[in-house]
Structure 1
Amino acid sequence: MGTELLAPLDLAFWHFESDAHPMHLGALAVFAPAPDTTPTRILDLLGTRAAAIPRLRMCVRDVLLPVGGKAWTVDKDFDVHRHVEHIAVDGGDFMTGAGRLAGELMERPLGRGRPPWRMYLIGGAEGGPFAVLVKLHHALADGMRAVAIGAGIFDEIAAVTDARTAARGRPAVPPRSWLPDPREMAGMALGRIGEVGRAL
């Protein structure tokens, strides 16, 4: 994948973004893992899956023409470890702590000098539940692209016995009429997991 001009709507999402009006969307998936699942194992798998998706290696750069235009280009310094992070949940009810932490993470703007996405492994103490928050810039992923990216990331998550989803998206301008609700995107992606408990 080389250089690709941003489509008009994606360009609008990129230009309209401000601290008061972030242009990213997110999906939070909560899992109940098998006892032998560890944060390191999950994090390694998430990083491997994300790094294998070409779109997630792309960053936005200026172009001479058209005036005001932007283009997707491959980030030659791409390092998946800059995008995938593990954050522990301190005591108390996991769902409450994970939800609060996900809200705080969604409030942070995405860096514009790197591929505009982040992924967080929340919790994941050995034998305990964990959550995965995927945060994507709206210019990077419209509805169908978000589904494809989500499926590519979650398709081989192993040792999962139960999955519940919640999602949150905050575009500052009305999305296209065919853009699925973030909860639908999370559900569609997680639907691909199926029998992944036997993957590892």
Structure 2
Amino acid sequence: MAPLDGVFWRLRSDPVLKPVVVALFHLDGVTDPAQLREWHERTLLTDPRFSSRVGGTDRSPRWEPDPAFTLDDHVVRVPLAGAEASDQLVRELVSAPFTRDIPPWRAYVIDNPSAGTSLYLLKLTHAMADGLRIVELITGRRAPATRTADDAPAGNQPPTLRPLDRIGRWARLVKAVAAPSGRPRHQLSGARRHTFFEVPLAGLKAAGTASGGTLNHALLAALTRGISRYRERTEGRRPTALAALSAVARSTTGATKPANDFIFVHLTLPVVDDSVEDHLRAVRAAIRSTGDHDAVDWLGPASAIAPLLPTGLIRAGLKHFSASHDFVVSNIPAGRSTIAIGGRRVTAVFGVTPLSAAPMTITLVSYQDTCHITLNTDPAAGHDLPALVHDIRTSLQETIEWGVKRLDT
């Protein structure tokens, strides 16, 4: 396995970190079993990891072909009694463990015949794929080597920096993470609560452009504003800044492409009490100050030395680093072209990324004209989830309305 892929595999049994990735696709009809099988064979199974099991040692795991592989062991059709059962079912399916002796992935087809719709839930260990790789496999097409500013948190062609500049960025990262945050620390339980909702992309893109930034800047500004409002209502004071950990995808090409190809970027996002525009511009400036196209990649060097370290030390370090942030965010572009699974059109796409040891993770999947948002929290963090979602949605709506108004002027 590539170094980072191996780290995720070694963390598989930790009840808090739980390095499992889930993609949830809403389909416009009930799938035909024969078409679904054919679709799996020409998409997922083109990646040999999906027909391999994990061998080697814990510190040096490797993929090896599974001679007993059969697709029937991995695709499960589940009849759904009603839409109200879907959230509970997703929670249970996300939490179910994998076994070591077969390829660590499952696909669940959740049929709702009364509504004439289905859900396709793909669950896999993070050692097999990150969010962008899942999109590539599902769609059967490669993501562009350089994505547009509207799609990605940062570009993929880093400029050359002087050594002193790089040292300065490392120093700022260490100082920001080591500094006391004032945020409450919780003994997390490993349980999960998921909330799924959608917002239109057009207004958010307009807000990003009008403030001199991108869609990603607008999303992060709206999330920061909403979370800070929630914190003010529940803790009695509004924070002046939030610490976010943003997963930024890269685009390595070639036959040796790793399953996970991203870096984590630490962001200190200011909270501005003034107008939506002032807050947007402040967040945009903060993101660009991290280096934007050339943020510090601490994950690569840390993964490279991981085989030399005991698993317990890796767990403790990742938990400490994750817990020093208010939230973790992933922004995954799924494109504007229609996706089909088993002959059925995909109408919505949601992602569920690992919570790690942060109070919450937020996964943003942009598909066609909609941003599909998943909020993943641990109940031990004590969040009033409906109130938190309300504040985030309100902030997103304010940002959209401001963007639309600027678009019309």
- Write the distance in 1 (CA, Å) between the matches of 2:344 and 2:350: 20
Separation in 1 of the partners of 2:12 and 2:357?
Answer: 10
Q: Secondary structure at the match of 1:26?
A: strand
Match of 2:356 in 1: 172
Structure 2: which 5+ runs fail to align? 142-338, 369-409
2:22 aligned residue (13, 26, 33): 26
Paired position in structure 2 for 1:157? 342
C-alpha distance 51-158 of structure 1, shift in aligned 2 (>3 A): closer
Give the whole-Å Cα distance in 2 for the aligned partners of 1:171 and 1:112.
Answer: 22
Change beyond 3 A, Cα 1:143–1:31: closer
Cα shift readout 1:145-167 (whole Å, capped 9, x = no counterpart): 2222222496453243x612222
1:101 to 89, 111, 118: 89
CA RMSD of aligned residues (A): 2.8
What is the CA–CA distance in structure 1 between the aligned matches of 2:120 and 2:52, rounded to whole Å? Answer: 22
Tell me the distance in 2 between the aligned counterparts of 1:126 and 1:108: 27
- Is 1:54 matched with 2:46? yes
Number of residue pairs matched by the alignment: 163
Q: Deviations over 1:119-160 (max 9, x none)?
A: 000024276111000011110002332222222496453243
> What amino acid is the match of 1:130?
S
Map Cα deviations across residues 36-86 of structure 1 (whole Å, 9 max, x no partner).
xx55x1x332333223423211221116xxx83111112111100000000
TM-score for both structures, normalised by structure 1? 0.69
1:84-163 matches, cutoff 5 A: 84-91=75-82, 94=83, 96-125=84-113, 128-152=116-140, 155=340, 157-160=342-345, 163=347
Max radius of gyration: which structure? 2
The alpha-carbon deviation at position 183 of structure 1 amounts to: 4.2
SS in 1 for 2:122: strand
Partner amino acid for 2:12?
A: E
Matched residue type, 1:17: R
Amino acid at match of 1:14: W
Question: Match of 1:48, as an amino acid?
Answer: E
The residue type equivalent to 1:73 in the other structure is: E
Q: CA deviation at 1:29?
A: 1.1
Q: What TM-score, normalized to structure 2?
A: 0.36
Q: Residues of 2 paired with 1:51 and 1:171: CA distance?
A: 31
